[in-house]
A and B are shown apart, each in its own frame.
Chain A
Amino acid sequence: MENKQIKNAHISEKSTRPDLQSIAEILTILTKGIKTSLLYPAQNPIPREFKKSCWEKLQAYLETYEQLELDIYSDSFRDRQQIIYKAPSKEENIAGLLHRDGIRFVRFHSGLQKTEWEGFFDDILTVLRDDDKYEDLVNLFWQRDFVNIEYEAVDEFALSEIESNYQASSNTAVEYSEVLNIESQDNTVSVLEALNPENQSDKQAPVTEENKFIDKVFQNIQKFSQEERDNIEAKVAADEDLIIEFEAINLLFDILKVEEEIRSFDDSLHMLNIMYDKMLAGEQFPLLVHLIKSLKEVHRKFTGQSTTRADKIKDCINRYGDKIRIGKITNMLNKNEDIDLDGIRMYLEELDWENLPMLIWMLGELEYFPARKMLIQAIVNKGRERIDIIGNAIFDSRWYVVRNAALILGEIGNRRALSHLKKPLEHFDERVRWEAVVAIEKIALESGYEMLMPLLNDESDRVRRKVIQVVGNNQIAAALDNLESLIFSKDFNNLGGDEQKEYISALALCGGDQAISLLRKLALKKSLFFADKYEVQNEAAVTALSLIDSQEVRDVLEMIVRKRKGSVSMLAKLLLEKKDKVVNQKAEEQV
């Protein structure tokens, strides 16, 4: 490595003595920032705080000292020989990482931009996460093109064998006088001299057979007209709009489409499979989506033309949703919360329906809620026409799989899903039953609501209340009898006040006019010895009456005002006043 020294006239006297303690602090926070970034998702505040703190301290340091220099050793950051910061462990050895990739010196200048700093930080993370060693820091830093970060890499350009073996002749045997003698007798002039402005001004450059076909673009060979410059700029701009990876994939498929020999076709498919595996390992889901779409397009082309080729492509497509591939994606989702969920969803949706069972399997394997949510969305989009496959999931032994299957069936909202929801309604786990109720509500069919009736007696109050809510919101008349018998049973008095209110409201909503007499009964229900024993039910009944739009309700309310005292009577009175107000308002509006 060349021994280099920095020439810098601008550094003030105080900045020549670096504050090693401050630098050590910065490096400590940098290490923690890197470590926590690897452990936690990007949105987690812990790594973000470290990163922010590191930036602030670095910025403050540079404002005072104008630059921060680090000599990189395999185990430490140093100022010449003096250790500033030694890595506490192998996993936290950032200096070692830089050293491994050949970096021996780094300098940050004042004027350092936050984007540069973040780029530096992110590149270190990229390399640490890169299990397959696709990148190295020197290349990543080079691509960043830092203005305020200098680094020095080991000069790996040692004298190569090619260079050392390259021997130029000394030309001692060449008789130059002879050369000059021969050449001076040759009077040919290069045809390109016709384009020389010196010759053109003399008009001595004739148009010859050779040069008459030259485009006018070259007539003024050294100058570019505005039109020419615009043309070139337009070409460059147009290229910048391309997604070049897509273009490359398109090309490979154009090659595949025209492979004449089946062996070449197989080779091309094999190449695509290898490419696929690399893209999958690299988590390049947008590219994978494009790949599958292109495969499907080719499949359509060959269907009807060549069964063999069509089948081979179909196998490929199925392969991309098989257990191995889905397993890998599942591991990725469980390992990295920051992964591209949208990209994965689009990929999963692009798979054929034959891969749906694998997606269902995946349901039970994902650890994080966002990933499960994404998968559910994908299955919903994918499974609209394949409800039976989704329905198979209700036989899974894992409650959460059955629960999610119910959720999906509800989201799909297809009547054919109803039959698959019967079993979940009877599931031992209340969370499954609850989800099944929600699903039935989404499907919104009378026959579905009927399935809910037994759950009015469900042992779980959460489930019961959900059912009540569903029947009430949808005013299911068929529920009236069930509700009546429940409300007027002894056990009803053991329920919580809120739940009792929900039941009674549901009664009103489901029964309409038919419920008025029942509600009146409830409103007047009294205890001989405990005045407030039925107060909740009384008030709930009165409130529920207001949900029914009928003249009879008015009569009942007036009667309650007369016959009852206290809060019940006052409530009835209030409701009457409210009704009058509404009536008067309507009358005024009509006027």
Chain B
Amino acid sequence: MTQSIPITKSDRYTSAEMKAMANLQALGRDLVTQFYICLKTAAFYDNNNTNYQKQLQKFSDLVDIALEKQAEFRLTSVEGYLFLNEQRLKINLDGYLSAKSLQKTFDRFKITGLIFKNGVDQLSLSFLITELVRNTNITIGAEELNKLFNSKNVSDIEFIPSLTISSEEDITPKDERKKAKRVFFNAINVVQDILTTPADNRQLNLIRAKRAIHSLVDQLLKNERYLLELTALQKFDDYTYKHSVNVSIFSVALGLRLGFSKAQLSELGFAALFHDFGKTKIPLDLLNKPDGLNSSDWSQMQEHPVYGAKVIAQNFLMERYTARAILVAFEHHKNLDGTGYPYINRTCSLNLYSQIVSICDYFDALTSGRTYRKKSVPVDEVILQMMKLSNVKFDAHLLKVMINLVGIYPSGSLLLLDTGELALVTANNANDIFRPEVKIIADTRGKKNPPIRTHLSAFDSRQNRYFRNVLHLVDPTKYDIDISEYILSD
């Protein structure tokens, strides 16, 4: 019996959804998200599981839609971005997690991406997902994978080998950490140079500043964890330079989650780097005053945003970067309703970049202490305080993005675990911000063994509970623990 209306896979989507998907951007994002969901589901369930099958079907439908008007399409990862054919996919808050996860998967197999060809069916896709999830061979690359797939008669999926310039040895986490460290300290160096350079030469340093920011952005695009970890380093003679770099790192990482383009990220990073430029006009002894500021000190300090705006305007050519930096320097202590300092009322609302930097500035300032000698505020208290200030000082939604970026226990936090161990947080877990990645730095007996890396999300399925849970934060300064030792070691 023939059917008057052919039943196609696309019937599973409404016509409104079809129209949206016709747009390459939307299609690309949906493909990435669904791909990630399939990989995640396959990690927990076998191929016959209903949930897995459902997700796979959706993925297959999306692939079919993508292949409707072409013989093949490519999904690739280049320099921290995902591409559908030539179209770069703008990944925002929605798809950030899935995008990063997919990129990590590609990196693991040393591939740039995949080619899906006409004729690819659900079976082939299932084989692909299973291989990506379960193949533990760390040396396997595109060539071997293609051979494997061909031997299983799966020829409509092809692996694209990595084309990136690489060193003679493969890039290891150790190399990445080393590179991140170099980028981090270089940025501090650049800030210091600019802030201590006479005005005449500042324009040349602007070029260096941009390069430093570009390196930060590139590093964050590739893998943000190492730079975020470095923000927790404390022992600097001059807080201002390191703080500027930290704020820049947090701001760019936040901007990444908002779907900012590379140009926007670099503009944001630059503005964040110079948000305290006005402090060059504040006497050093006031800046580093450990005992707290009296009202006169405070009045003087409150001028630094105005100084910052003026100094930047005076020293650099007016262009997008500097214009943005002027706004951020001026506004980063203003509240959403225009209150806050400096006490100059304006009719326009706070610039978005200023709001981002404001959040990152407050967070870093309180968690690292304004001077080295001063005690920092426990990070959970800082986050709580910031939440209470949301919609007054901070935009609630942006703050929520920030919290998800750093986690409840940000990198560098020292934790007491319910196992009696002492652990240092090394990276946020985007899937569960209450369960970060950690290094166990002292065992239950207080013995300082070589640190063991683990995830607090590691689950004991036999006992049906997590292996480790957080009891509370520990203040390292109380015990003169220098967390730098653990951050800088491999």
Contacts and interface: CB of A to CB of B under 8 A. Distances in A.
A163 B319 CA distance: 32
Contacts of B425: none
A284 B94 CA distance: 39
Centre residue among A132, A176, A189, A274 by max chain B CB count within 10 A: A176
Contact of A10 (B88, B161, B309): B161
A239 B182 contact: no
Contacts of B78: 147
Contacts of A186: 416, 472
Contact of A168 (B166, B186, B474, B482): B482
B388 A139 contact: no
Nearest to A5: B168
Centre residue among A159, A224, A255 by max chain B CB count within 10 A: A255
Nearest to B466: A198
Contact of B348 (A156, A198, A247): A247
Interface residues on B, range: 35 or more
A529 interface: no
Interface in A466-509: none
B348 A228 contact: no
B318 A179 contact: no
Contacts of B204: 133
Interface string A153-167: 000110111110011
A157 B215 contact: yes
A252 B326 contact: yes
Interface stretch (B25-33, B41-49, B52-60, B394-402): B394-402
B51 interface: no
A211 B384 contact: yes
Interface in A174-229: 174-181, 183-184, 186, 188-193, 195-196, 198, 210-211, 213-215, 217-218, 221-222, 224, 228-229
Contacts of B12: none
Given A4-B165, A156-B211, A244-B320, A252 B344 contact: no
A245 interface: yes
A134 B321 CA distance: 12
A252 B161 CA distance: 52
Given A180-B444, A183-B416, A166 B384 contact: no
Contacts of B142: 9
A138 B214 CA distance: 10
B285 to A, nearest CB: 22
Contact of B352 (A10, A191, A239, A282): A239
Contacts of A49: none
Contacts of B189: 160-163
A183 B442 contact: no
Contact of A215 (B161, B260, B390): B390
A150 B78 CA distance: 12
A514 B207 CA distance: 81
Interface residues on A, range: 35 or more
Contacts of B447: 176-177
Contacts of A192: 380, 383-384, 408
Interface stretch (A28-36, A230-238, A535-543): A230-238
Given A174-B481, A180-B416, A190-B408, A252 B203 contact: no
B65 interface: no
Contacts of B473: 190
Nearest to B384: A191
A232 B83 CA distance: 23
Interface of B: 78, 83, 86, 88, 92-94, 142-143, 161-168, 181-183, 185-186, 188-189, 192, 203-204, 206-207, 210-211, 214-215, 233, 235-236, 258-260, 262-263, 266, 306, 309-310, 313-314, 316-320, 322-324, 326-327, 330, 344, 346, 348, 351-353, 380, 383-384, 387-388, 390-391, 395-398, 400-401, 403-404, 408, 416, 420, 422, 432-434, 441-442, 444-448, 470-474, 479-482, 484-485, 487-488
Interface of A: 2-10, 111, 113, 132-136, 138-139, 142-143, 145, 147, 150, 152, 156-157, 159-163, 166-171, 173-181, 183-184, 186, 188-193, 195-196, 198, 210-211, 213-215, 217-218, 221-222, 224, 228-229, 231-233, 235-236, 238-239, 242, 244-245, 247-252, 254-255, 258, 267-268, 271-272, 274-275, 278-279, 281-282, 284, 287
